[in-house]
Amino acid sequence: MLEWLLNGYSCQTYGPNQTTRGMTIIMKRWRMRSWQTLLLILVLGVAAIGVAQHVMTWSKPSTMEFQAEKVPAGASDAGGQQGGSEPAVQPSQQGGSGSAVLQEQQGGSGSAVLQEQQGGSGSAALPVQQGGNVITVLKPALPSINKAQTLSLTNVTPKTYYKNKVAVLTYHHLDSEESSVTITPERFKAHMDALKAYGFHVISIEDFIDFLQKKKSVPANAVVLTFDDGYESVYRYAYPILKSEGMPATVFLIVGYVEDGTARKPAILNWSEITEMKRNGFSFYSHTYNSHDTVVQKGKEYSQLTAKIVSSATNKLETDQEYRTRVRTDLEKADQILADKLGNKLNLLCLPHGQSNSEVNEIAAQVHIPYIFTGDDGFNTNKAKLIKRINAGSPYVTDKLLITRLTSGR
């Protein structure tokens, strides 16, 4: 088509004083009618737009960036707050951009090319609870992602992708409408089917702790499943799937939310559901008693676990000692309730929003919490104390992308 439009075209070079003459000669040589000129301009314009869009798409960063969002009480993410002014007690930045630093996997038949999801349920936010119980959550902004095709699970030959390591996966809420920390039950089922087909071994968190304490080995391709916050949707949707497959899992509870019985949206697990799940392969540990909310300091939001707050007794910012006492009391209270209700012998802590600092780490050790689950992305060897996790509970994480991430082994 371009050859037809440019019939007779030849290139000549003209000096600055010959522009008009040059254009005249070129147009004569093209022997174009006016409508052909317009058509050529249109074709070249469309091509230029296509090139520009291609360049813009591949220039987007592939890692996750964090932003603050108001969502209902109980919703959270494992990622940490980035940048900004330091709080009174500075939280360390766990893993930079959060729990799922997913690089674009390029090339090969197993590639997972990332591109932004457009519209649909992927943009839906969690419903807002009216009349209170709304907290600020530091959530990952959806990265530029590509809807990778669903994996074929037929004729898959399981391989050894890694040894003497454990991948800890993070989930939150399951619902028919997806959001940054919510996936559908169907997507979760696809994840579990893919793990099974590709030869990953789901182990209990207790077996993982024995591995960390060098008491036992773990199978190749070992995976631990975790759910943050303690949503009732885990009981409704994930529990039946995992029970049927004999897969253990762990829920990190905001223990105070379970204890106070306040109606929240999304709903929180109750002790009856928790007890039933514990009898069938689930375990439950602390996501703090009631330090999941955030505080704003110098325009930035931080977990109450890592920043001083205004004391209700004095109406002044906590002193160092008051801060440490509050954190210690919170962690001890959560673990004591879990021991009383469920018979827990082991204390574990999952950090709200993936944030920590040296004081939290020190206090956790003092109250006999040997391992802290962070927002850092990666795998864990038996030398780990601060446990890395991989976010699997966001709508862009297709089964293909999950398997691509895990088979990397790093």
pTM for the full model?
0.69
Stretch 276-292: mean pLDDT, rounded?
97
Cβ atoms of 182 and 172 within 8 Å: the answer is yes
Which pLDDT belongs to residue 162? 98
- Between 34 and 222, whose confidence is greater? 222
Cβ neighbors of 322 (< 8 A, separation 6 or more) are 308, 311
The CATH label, of 3.20.20.370, 3.30.470.10, 3.40.50.970, 3.30.200.20, for the domain at 61-407 is 3.20.20.370
- 21-34 pLDDT tens trace: 444 444 444 444 55
- Give residue limits of the domains in the chain: 2-57, 61-407
- 141-169 pLDDT tens trace: 444 344 445 677 888 899 999 999 999 99
Strand pairing class (134-140; 66-72): antiparallel
Interatomic CA distance for residues 148 and 146, integer angstroms: 6
| Least confident segment among 30-34, 237-241, 331-335 | 30-34
- 83-103 pLDDT tens trace: 333 334 444 444 333 333 333
**DSSP letter string over 139-157?**
EEPP-S---PPPPP-TT--
Cβ atoms of 288 and 364 within 8 Å: the answer is no
- Please name which of 263, 380, 258, 359 lies closest in space to residue 303, comparing C-alpha atoms: 359
- 162-188 pLDDT tens trace: 999 999 999 999 999 999 999 999 999
- 283 pLDDT above the threshold of 50: yes
Which pLDDT belongs to residue 284? 98
**Number of other CB atoms surrounding residue 36 within 10 Å:** 15
Interatomic CA distance for residues 351 and 306, integer angstroms: 10
Which pLDDT belongs to residue 1? 47
Q: What percent of the chain has pLDDT over 70?
A: 64
Question: Helix (H, G, I), strand (E, B), or coil: what is residue 271?
Answer: helix
**DSSP letter string over 78-105?**
SPPP-SS---SSPPB-TTTT-S-----B
- 104 pLDDT above the threshold of 80: no
Which pLDDT belongs to residue 42? 73
